[in-house]
A and B are shown apart, each in its own frame.
Chain A
């Protein structure tokens, strides 16, 4: 029963290893990938149903008692995120067949893709701070492989910076974990939470909390540590950008969410105040970046940053309403970012350029692409009835309730500017005179719209079905606001 918790990591990991050996036979690799991502999604959904019905599943590796061994904790928050990650994996797998050139597919795209999913699922599921580092490395090493895949000039130029900044933050992560171990003598998250609570988080623990925040802020692209993100996310092929944009930064945000709602919650005036300030700056600077460029992919990449700002705002406010909003927004943002990257990828493939000034009138020949993009743009900006609305509403309501008026207003204005930045793509790219001389012979958007539509269906479900989904999310948030729930579910038995 408890062994179920490791399946979301094990399935993609084994698939990835098997695919390395089958690499020469591309049709077979494609087929296995398709089958395995769907199997994985079904399995994970089954586990999620189980967790939401019967409570947290805790796997003690090798049956070692809890503080001594390695634990995997499939609590409601983690498992919901794993399901969403696998949803994106399915869409990406199908998008990859139609968008990647064969050379890239042959050079181990699929194995690296599977390992990335294994790393992301592991990072969500682990109940141990050091293992969080290990799974971070698993997903980062897979992402290093993916970002240089193809080996163009720009890729080498940007990937080197991406790798160095991530490597630096990983080293800082290990150092911080060792500090934490020296102070409280454990790396198990539940026991950490218990012991930090016992000694009431004095100065040194707050310092360690800030160090951890720097680490996760680098990975999650918070102000002022987001500078590496936009360019390095736009140089690889679209499907890889979509994977990165949807999953990697969100793992950083998840880590902040976990650490600052479970472990370091006894000195809110310092840690959560810093979170709030950073959230405000992240919102403003991210959206300014999105407005400053004419490259469609860069606009979407910049839009990752204010989204992170909203989630951090919810964590900083730290009330159960705001946390529910953060979780809702996290789920929404993973899906919508992948969909948007897919759509602008299809757009750029059709127009033959990613420069907005050279596009125009695409909707004449690609009406479906155009309207899907319109829906995605509204969902991103948080207009009802799409999914972004519910998350933003809860976060901002939480902020107003707790008296953070300035930040809530910044959040509202940022929303409008986000809408402006994406509608600009719609107006300039889809309306107006067609700037293309001739329509390409082979339809370049073939097979690229279906995965995006698949994800948008979930966006609309999250928005219109809020009545059914919201109680679950609120339940998760209510559990998170009191660390004792997590500690009890892990430490019992």
Chain B
């Protein structure tokens, strides 16, 4: 199970990097979203995937799921959600102000 998840996360990374290398701003934003999904899958996989067990350790629980990756992934999801929504707004404003969404044209060739 861990291997399948790792492969899946790897595929998300590949797709994310591919999207980030595109010229269109919106595709880059989607790329970052895919990358962060890949990272989140990694976090949850690293804590060993176990089903139907409680994420606590008390006296009568001997078999438990590691709760730490779950706390980490939650924090990370919230952050990437916030940043992605900010990026979408920024991409739109940048498109409006600069009149283009092509990164090639946003190089800034002013040789100051």
Where the two chains meet, the residues of A that have a C-beta atom closer than 8 Å to any C-beta of B are: 130, 133-134, 137, 141, 144, 148, 151-154, 156-161, 163-164, 167-168, 170-172, 174-175, 177-179, 181-182, 187, 231, 293-295, 298, 354-355
Compute how far the CA of A126 lies from the CA of B46 in the bound complex, rounded to whole angstroms: 23
Mark interface residues in B30-47 (1 if CB within 8 Å of A CB, else 0).
001001101110110111
Q: Are B39 and A182 closer than 8 Å at their CB atoms?
A: no
Task: Give Cα A160 to B83, complex, Å.
Answer: 12
Q: Which residues from A are CB-within-8-Å of B75? A: 130, 134
Q: What is the CB-to-nearest-CB distance from A294 to chain B, in angstroms, rounded to a whole number?
A: 7
Name the residue on B nearest A130 (C-beta): B72
Asked whether B90 lies within 8 Å of A163 as measured between CB atoms, the reply is yes
On whether the beta carbons of B72 and A178 are closer than 8 Å, the reply is yes
* Complex contacts, A156 vs chain B, CB 8 Å: 90, 93-94, 97-98
Q: Are A178 and B69 in contact (CB under 8 A)?
A: yes
Do the beta carbons of B42 and A175 come within 8 Å of each other?
A: yes
Asked if B82 is at the interface (CB within 8 A of a chain A CB), the reply is: yes
- Partner of A293 from the list B42, B106, B112 (CB cut-off 8 Å) is B112
Check if B46 sits within 8 Å of A181, measured CB to CB: yes
Which chain B residue shows the least CB distance to A182? B46
| A contact residues around B98 at 8 Å (CB) | 153, 156-157
Residues of B within 8 A of A (CB): 20, 25, 28, 32, 35-36, 38-40, 42-43, 45-47, 68-69, 72, 75-76, 79-80, 82-83, 86-87, 90-91, 93-94, 97-98, 106, 108, 112
Beyond the given A171-B32, A177-B43, A179-B46, could you list 5 further A-B residue pairs with CB under 8 A, ordered by the A residue number? A148-B90, A159-B90, A161-B106, A174-B42, A181-B68
Chain B residue contacts of A159, Cβ below 8 A:
90
Give every chain A residue within 8 A of B25 (Cβ-Cβ): 160
How distant is the Cα of A174 from the Cα of B13 in the complex, in angstroms? 13
| 26 A-B pairs with C-beta separation under 8 A | A133-B76, A144-B83, A148-B90, A153-B98, A156-B94, A156-B98, A157-B106, A157-B108, A158-B108, A159-B90, A163-B90, A164-B28, A171-B32, A171-B36, A171-B39, A171-B80, A172-B39, A174-B40, A174-B72, A175-B39, A175-B42, A178-B43, A179-B46, A181-B69, A182-B47, A187-B72
Q: Is the beta-carbon distance between B108 and A151 smaller than 8 angstroms?
A: no
Q: For chains A and B in complex, what number of residue pairs have CB atoms within 8 angstroms?
A: 97
Whether A141 contacts B82 by the Cβ 8 Å rule is yes
B90 and A164: CB pair below 8 A? no
**Pair A231/B108 contact, Cβ less than 8 Å:** yes
Counting chain A CB atoms within 10 Å of each CB, the highest count among B36, B90, B97, B112 belongs to B112
Closest to B91 in A: A160
Inside 8 A of A293's CB, which chain B residues have their CB?
Answer: 112
Per a CB cutoff under 8 Å, which of A144, A153, A171 touches B86? A144
> In this complex, what residue of A is CB-closest to B108?
A157
A137 to B68 CA separation, bound complex (whole angstroms): 19
State the Cβ distance, B49 to closest chain A Cβ, in Å: 12
- Nearest-neighbour CB distance to chain B for A4, whole angstroms, equals 25
Greatest chain B CB density within 10 A among A133, A152, A157 is at A157
Residues of B within 8 A of A153 (CB): 97-98
Residues of A contacting B79 with CB < 8 Å? 134, 137, 170
Query: In angstroms, how far is the closest chain B Cβ from the Cβ of A148?
Result: 6
Q: How far is the CA of A182 from the CA of B46 in the complex (A)?
A: 5
Whether the Cβ atoms of A151 and B112 lie closer than 8 Å is no
> Which 6 pairs of residues, A with B, have the shortest CB-CB distance?
A182-B46, A156-B94, A178-B43, A295-B112, A178-B46, A175-B39
Minimum CB–CB distance for B31 against chain A, Å: 9
CA distance A137 to B79 in the complex (A): 7
Check if B94 sits within 8 Å of A160, measured CB to CB.
yes
* Contact present for B108 and A154 (CB under 8 Å): yes
CA distance in complex: A355, B111 (Å): 10
A354 to B98, CA, bound (A): 23
Residue of B38, B39, B86 touching A141 (CB-CB under 8 A): B86
Interchain CB contact under 8 A, A168 and B72: no
Contacts of B108 in A (CB 8 A): 154, 157-158, 231
Q: How many angstroms from the CA of A144 to the CA of B32 in the assembled complex?
A: 16
* A133 closest partner in B (C-beta): B76
Q: How far is the CA of A152 from the CA of B106 in the complex (A)?
A: 13
Q: How far is the CA of A248 from the CA of B22 in the complex (A)?
A: 28
Residues of B within 8 A of A154 (CB): 108
Give CA–CA (A160, B86) in the complex, Å: 11
A158→B103 CA distance, assembly (Å): 11
Residues in A with CB closer than 8 Å to B80 are 171
A163 with B87: in contact, given A157-B94, A157-B106 (CB under 8 Å)? yes
